[in-house]
Chains A and B, each alone.
Chain A
Amino acid sequence: IVSTFNNYNDLYPDWTQTEVSTGTSIMAVEFEGGVVIGADSRTTTGAYIANRVTDKLTPIHERIFCCRSGSAADTQAIADAVTYQLGFHSIELDEAPLVQTAASLFRDMCYRYREELMAGIIVAGWDPRRGGQVYTVPVGGMMTRQPVSVGGSGSSYIYGYVDSNYRAGMSKEECLKFTAEALTLAMERDGSSGGVVRLAVISEQGVERQVILGNQLPKFSTV
């Protein structure tokens, strides 16, 4: 396959030619009455940070969000397509769409085009039928519901922390603290994650968003 970029030229550093990726740490937790979702804010092209304040928590519908990881272009394109499909479906139904429906739409696209895409997505939201739900659609196009889900390159570093600290029946505040701490730990260890922590709480009341800046992140002992 002929590449249109001239690789022999030192004039153009490597990062001008590599695809933009959301290195990423993303996370979602279910609680009674809704979900808490969180993400870091770093987008990289090679070793350069193209955007240090990215918003990886993308609204798909009024009370359904997705957390994006993988190729920035692929996930943006998929999210735009699913937003359109879900909006249309919701108008046809004259009802708020189910979180499972949104997750299914993501799964259909990610599975059908699995060879061409690099996208790991966590779909989370609230609907009147089943309350707060988290569905994970990793690379490859599987879809499964989980009470807690982590994703992205930084997730590898926090599986232990999440498995040991998650308890069923946490409150909203406990979930927020849990998510913020987990993402902070991931950002600390993963080079492709960093910046600020973006959090959102989705419930029957709507969506509350917050940002935790670098100096306000929880502190752990750094050896």
Chain B
Amino acid sequence: MASVSVCQYHSGGFSFENCKRNALLEADINKLGFSSPAARKTGTTICGVVYKDGVVLGADTRATEGMVVADKNCSKIHYISPNIYCCGAGTAADTEMTTQIISSNLELHSLSTGRLPRVTTANRMLKQMLFRYQGYIGAALVLGGVDCNGPHLYSIYPHGSTDKLPYVTMGSGSLAAMAVFEDRYRPNMEEEEAKRLVRDAIAAGIFNDLGSGSNIDLCVITKGNVDYLRPHDMANKKGVREDKVYGRPVTGSYRYKHGTTGVLTKAVTPLNLEVVEESVQTMDTS
């Protein structure tokens, strides 16, 4: 049998003891009319493409909590190893922690083997972990990188199945992105064309899917070099409110020009007040 690997993490890991308690609490809270806090999800459009010299990974930057945007500029392209990066869709915490755990184990593995890690190794580790948790870890990943065997791209689903393909999309905006890919993908593209294709695919997700939005991040991985372009394209820059109108500052100013409102009648009633008492109290300014 295989010997114990140095990268054995604690069998403690995730504990599901509170699931039953949470279910009861949720039922109680719903009776009172409140809703329990929703896990933050990366609504997301993520995608990847294999081109002539390597892989290009792309992602949007919106993180949602129910119907509200929790983070307008979150980073969904996670570091796995110097030559491997992973985009994550699904539950934000799950993708973050899963990629960090595998990144850590892969570094130990790489030190043990004395070699640059391979994308297929990362794929194995991720799929075996996700399968072990039977889909309860909601992490849908696009894993890409370049190793001694060339460029590789995998899509990994929460239940632990993987597909090795030349182009993949994941997340709620994946259908929009896949439409762009199916139209324009060609094998062995040049870098600029591949970047444009990924950018357009993510843009399709951003503008046609409510769960995706904000900017487009890109990660170009080639043999020996990684370009982490964050942001690559700020497709949704926040507009600037007009500062001054007719020389008057607009923000927070409610002074209007004389004559804005027409005066119909005017009656002035002087109030005769007599000074009763006058006292001065110094302020303690020490």
Contact = CB atoms under 8 A, between A and B. Distances in A.
Given A4-B39, A16-B171, A9 B66 contact: yes
B159 A4 contact: no
B193 interface: no
Interface in B93-149: 94, 124, 127-128, 130-131, 134-138, 140
A19 B160 CA distance: 10
Contact of A50 (B43, B137, B163, B171): B163
A4 B136 contact: yes
Interface string A39-63: 0000101001011011000000000
A71 B159 contact: yes
Contact of A4 (B26, B91, B162, B175): B91
Contact of A12 (B19, B43, B94, B157): B43
A76 B211 contact: no
Interface string B164-175: 010000011011
B159 A20 contact: yes
B157 A20 contact: yes
Interface residues of B, number: 39
A75 B43 CA distance: 28
B23 interface: yes
A213 to B, nearest CB: 16
Given A4-B39, A4-B136, A12-B43, A73 B160 contact: yes
Contact of A73 (B23, B64, B131): B131
A72 B43 contact: no
A6 B41 contact: yes
Contacts of A1: 19, 23
B251 to A, nearest CB: 33
A11 interface: yes
A147 to B, nearest CB: 31
Contacts of A5: 138
A2 B23 contact: yes
Residue of A9, A13, A80 contacting most chain B CB atoms (<10 Å):
A9
B14 to A, nearest CB: 11
Nearest to A22: B161
B39 A76 contact: no
Contacts of A71: 159, 161
A76 B160 contact: yes
A77 interface: yes
B157 A73 contact: yes
A50 B157 contact: yes
Interface string B24-50: 001000000000001101010000000
A12 B41 contact: yes
A19 B165 contact: no
Nearest to A1: B19
B172 A16 contact: yes
A9 B43 CA distance: 11
B1 to A, nearest CB: 8
Contacts of A16: 140, 171-172, 174
Q: Which 7 A-B pairs have the closest CB atoms?
A: A72-B161, A73-B159, A73-B161, A73-B160, A51-B163, A11-B211, A2-B19
23 contacts: A1-B19, A1-B23, A2-B19, A4-B138, A6-B41, A9-B67, A11-B67, A11-B172, A12-B41, A12-B172, A19-B157, A20-B159, A43-B161, A51-B165, A71-B161, A72-B159, A73-B127, A73-B130, A73-B135, A73-B159, A77-B128, A77-B160, A80-B128
Given A5-B138, A19-B159, 20 more contacts: A1-B23, A2-B20, A2-B23, A2-B26, A4-B39, A4-B94, A11-B43, A11-B67, A11-B172, A13-B172, A16-B174, A19-B135, A20-B157, A43-B163, A50-B163, A72-B161, A73-B161, A77-B131, A80-B124, A80-B128
